[in-house]
Amino acid sequence: MVKDSVFKTNNNFYTINFLSRVKGPAQGRVMTYMDVIVGTKLFIIATHYNNNLDNFLSDNADYTTLDSKTSSVFSYGLGIGFKVLPKDKNTSGMIDIRCTFLKSGSMMYDTPYYTEKWVSSTNIVMPQISYLHIFKGRKR
């Protein structure tokens, strides 16, 4: 986010993907998988007035978007990971470790003051460690 006394520019980056998972053979408590990913990346830049606390308290804030630009690019990639199942069968959670690589072309986007365009590669490597909790319903 770029700020000066009058304007504030926000930059937002989103990925929207479809994912297909291929599960590998379970070996003991470790369950492996591979993800095939296809989607898009969106880069949105928007400039607003830089409202301060005085504007907010005096109910004089202006949230109008002065200028906005959106760029997008096709992306694809692979992810590999594994889940570590608990020792106790009654436990309702597991650890999930994976790494995803999303490849895509270059994306053109404006600088915060829209004076020039930048071209940037948008490849992403996303390592992830998470805990999965499984909610079980009551047996009837």
Domain boundaries, the chain: 2-133
pLDDT band at 53 (very low <50, low <70, confident <90, very high): low
Instruction: Tell me the backbone φ, ψ of residue 120, rounded to 5 degrees.
Output: -140, 145
Which has the minimum average pLDDT: 1-5, 59-63, 119-123?
A: 1-5
pLDDT at position 78, please?
A: 97
- Express each pLDDT in 78-126 by its tens digit: 999 999 888 877 777 889 999 999 998 887 766 655 566 767 777 889 9
Instruction: Tell me the backbone φ, ψ of residue 88, rounded to 5 degrees.
Output: -85, 125
More confident residue, 12 or 58: 12
pLDDT band at 127 (very low <50, low <70, confident <90, very high): very high
* Averaged pLDDT, 24-45: 89
pTM of this prediction exceeds 0.75: no
pLDDT band at 60 (very low <50, low <70, confident <90, very high): low
How far does the chain reach from its first CA to its final CA, in angstroms? 53
Q: Which residues contact 132 (CB under 8 A, 6 or more apart)?
A: 83, 93, 94, 95, 96
